[in-house]
């Protein structure tokens, strides 16, 4: 079996998502299922020593916890739609928001939801939905 770096601190969140085969939008259930399947494959692999299996499974458990915590933080920051009285379309504050993040613009009687359609770091583009 090839050497595999089991030092969790050597991985970014993106690398852990790739390792788990997670797509752009995923749920906690998907993380759990992917981790379960990975652990099952390791457990059933006959050529891996019991010590190495334990080390790999511990790595998977740590990775699973990190990904779930990251998902909780993402949901806290981006699923609850923040409100603003300033149009977000040219505001640099939103440049590092992920695609799909939204903000509710309220000015007097006007209410619009701005949903980001570009990836982090790109020039910001929005889909704008008028509420009233």
Angle in degrees, 0-180, between the axes of helices 13-20 and 50-74, rounded to the nearest 10: 120
74 and 88 in a common domain: no
What integer best gives the mean pLDDT of the chain? 86
Percentage, residues of the chain above pLDDT 70: 91
Domain that holds residue 71: 8-79
Does residue 66 sit in the same domain as residue 93? Answer: no
Count of structural domains, the chain: 2
Phi-psi region of 107 (alpha: psi -120 to 50; beta: other; left: phi over 0): beta
Please tell me whether residues 69 and 87 are part of one structural domain: no
Give the mean model confidence (pLDDT) for residues 73-84.
Answer: 74
- Cα(first)–Cα(last) distance of the chain, in Å? 60
93 domain-assigned: yes
- Asked if residue 95 and residue 68 are part of one domain, the reply reads no
Whether residue 36 is contained in a domain is answered as: yes
| Residue 3 belongs to a domain | no
Indicate whether 100 pLDDT > 70: yes
Q: Are residues 57 and 105 in the same domain?
A: no
Residue 59 sits in the same domain as residue 87: no
pTM for this prediction: 0.61
Percent of the chain topping pLDDT 90: 44
**Same structural domain, 16 and 74:** yes
Identify whether residues 13 and 42 lie together within a single domain. yes
- What average pLDDT does this structure show over 15-39? 91
DSSP tally for the chain: helices H, then strands E: 3, 4
Burial class (CB in 10 A: 0-12, 13-18, 19+), 55: middle
57 and 108 assigned to the same domain = no
Tell me, yes or no, whether 2 lies in a domain: no
The answer to whether position 31 is within a domain reads: yes
């Amino acid at each position: 079996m090839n050497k595999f770096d089991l030092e969790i601190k050597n991985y970014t969140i993106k690398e852990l998502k790739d390792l788990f085969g997670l797509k752009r939008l995923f749920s906690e259930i998907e993380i759990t299922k992917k981790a379960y399947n990975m652990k099952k494959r390791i457990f059933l692999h006959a050529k891996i020593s019991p010590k190495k299996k334990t080390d790999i499974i511990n790595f998977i458990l740590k990775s699973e916890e990190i990904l779930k915590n990251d998902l909780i933080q993402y949901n806290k920051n981006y699923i609850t739609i923040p409100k603003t009285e300033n149009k977000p379309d040219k505001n640099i504050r939103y440049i590092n928001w992920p695609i799909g993040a939204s903000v509710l613009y309220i000015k007097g009687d006007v209410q619009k939801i701005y949903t980001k359609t570009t990836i982090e770091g790109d020039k910001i583009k929005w889909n704008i939905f008028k509420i009233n």
